[in-house]
Amino acid sequence: MRGRAGDERGLSESTQWAVLFSLLMLLTLGTIQAGIHLHGRNVAQRAATAAVDAARGSFGSTAEAQQVAQGIAQSGGLQGVTIRISRGVTTVTADVSGSAPAILDIAGRIHETASAPLERVSQP
């Protein structure tokens, strides 16, 4: 009878360790996925800011800004990147969206926007 109680206790402990290990792995992968998502947001924001900087100069163009943003987004690891640049009369706006790589298949689409006034040449 005594040997049986010891076997049950050992089985219970191994079950607890299996559950604990699974939860620990899920927590670790979740932390890594959160870091990848935050990195993707930083890359998208940097791409949008660089696109605005390229398009806001007096000789800047939306095509050049598009190339700059595309290069930064792709080198930063974003996938399925779409870039929209709007150069108005007084401001330039860049919208960058894409997806960061997913480990747990729960990552959503990242969307970042940057805007700045156009540079103007004025007489002294």
Measured in degrees and rounded to the nearest 5, phi and psi for residue 112 equal -130, 150
Would you say residue 40 lies in a domain? yes
Q: Is the pLDDT of residue 9 over 60?
A: no
Would you say residue 122 lies in a domain? no
pLDDT at 11: 63
Would you say residue 123 lies in a domain? no
Q: Which two three-digit tokens encode residue 7?
A: 């076997």
Q: How would residue 1 be classed by pLDDT, with cut points 50, 70 and 90?
A: very low
pLDDT in tens, 75-91: 999 999 999 999 888 99
pLDDT in tens, 11-63: 677 888 888 999 999 999 989 999 999 999 999 999 999 999 999 987 888 99
Q: Side chain identity at 45, as an amino acid letter?
A: Q
Residue 97's domain comprises 2-117
Count of domains in the chain? 1
Would you say residue 93 lies in a domain? yes
Distinct helix (H) and strand (E) counts, the chain = 2, 3
Would you say residue 73 lies in a domain? yes
Is residue 92 packed enough to be buried (19+ CB in 10 Å), middle (13-18) or exposed (0-12)?
buried
